[in-house]
Amino acid sequence: MIPVTDAMRETFARDGAFKAEGLLSAEELAACRRCFDFNLANPGPTALQLFEGSNDEQYNDLGTAKSLEVYRPMLEGLGFADFLSELWGSEHVWYFGEEIFIKQGGGVGRTPWHQDTPYFPAEGAHLANLWLSFEALPAGNALEVVRGSHVGTMYDGAAFMDPDDPTRPLWGTGDLPRLPDIEAERAADPSSWDVLSWGLAPGDAVVLHSGSLHGGAPVDPGCPTRHTLVLRFFGDDLRYRPFPDAKPDYFMDLRAFDVDDLEAGDPYRGEHFLQLR
């Protein structure tokens, strides 16, 4: 795997995201695709068509507990842990979990802007998503990230219920502010948000902090299909943050271990997380 540079560390800390060009060889990307295909053949309990019945329908799945058996050899063999340990300066690295997306048909719209951190009870500096596409993507059809948003406001999650209401809140309790309508504001003033995006070749990855505001751009006739694998990891600096007291409309419950004895700020760990380093 490519070496971590000082520029990568500085960019990740400042901007919350960067492009890791050539992170994976063709053989390594093929190993990731085999894991992706396992998820497709074995849908998890959260697998669904987001915005089903609309023009923006897209497939999404957070995987299953048994997928770890398939992912483990790939995760342990490809050097992700060493790469992220060097990026963060963390002694330990754990695998948080995967997520897969499919957009196809040449006309599927955006994945709503959101942060990942409102969906799980933890926060810290040592969080990273590796966003991998199995197709070559122009910047306008890839992932977009708001620069520096990982150290800014944590917003309520997006409910992912209605493509016409992209800021509909996950929790809706008032504990977290509602997401801004970034696309509407960009349409009115293209300079209103400092948005990063990159063209990607197979084997490239977007490395982003899970607290960054991000959203998947549309596919179109020039780029009709996108198969995306997101791998999430965390390191030593991840701490427990209790959820709001509410039952959201859409919720990916990634706790999977007893947090009743944890106080806010306690290290967030669990035996079910695969420790890679």
Q: Is the pLDDT confidence value at 249 over 60?
A: no
* Residue 59 within a domain: yes
Would you state the pLDDT for residue 163? 86
Tally of structural domains, the chain: 1
* Residue 276 within a domain: no
Q: Is the pLDDT confidence value at 254 over 90?
A: no
Cβ atoms 175, 244 nearer than 8 A: yes
* Residue 261 within a domain: no
Would you state the pLDDT for residue 1? 85
Q: Is the pLDDT confidence value at 255 over 70?
A: no
Would you state the pLDDT for residue 74? 97
Share of the chain above pLDDT 70, in %: 95
Query: How much is the mean pLDDT over the chain?
Result: 92
What DSSP element (H or E) covers 33? Answer: helix 26-41
* pLDDT class of 258 with cuts at 50, 70, 90: low
Share of the chain above pLDDT 90, in %: 81
State the helix-helix crossing angle for 26-41 and 67-77, rounded to 10 degrees: 170
Range of the domain at 80: 6-238
CATH number of residue 162's parent domain: 2.60.120.620
Would you state the pLDDT for residue 257? 56
**What is the rounded end-to-end Cα distance, in angstroms, of the chain?**
16
Would you state the pLDDT for residue 141? 95
Would you state the pLDDT for residue 248? 64
How far from the centroid of its chain's Cα atoms is residue 116's Cα? 6
* Residue 135 within a domain: yes
pLDDT tens for 178-217 read 999 999 999 999 999 999 999 999 999 999 999 999 999 9
Regarding predicted confidence, which is higher, 47 or 129? 129
* Residue 57 within a domain: yes
* Residue 158 within a domain: yes
* Residue 266 within a domain: no
pTM across the whole model: 0.94
Instruction: Show contacts of 23-27: CB within 8 Å, 24+ apart.
Output: 23/83, 23/130, 23/203, 23/204, 23/205, 23/207, 24/78, 24/132, 24/203, 24/205, 25/203, 26/202, 26/203
* Residue 257 within a domain: no
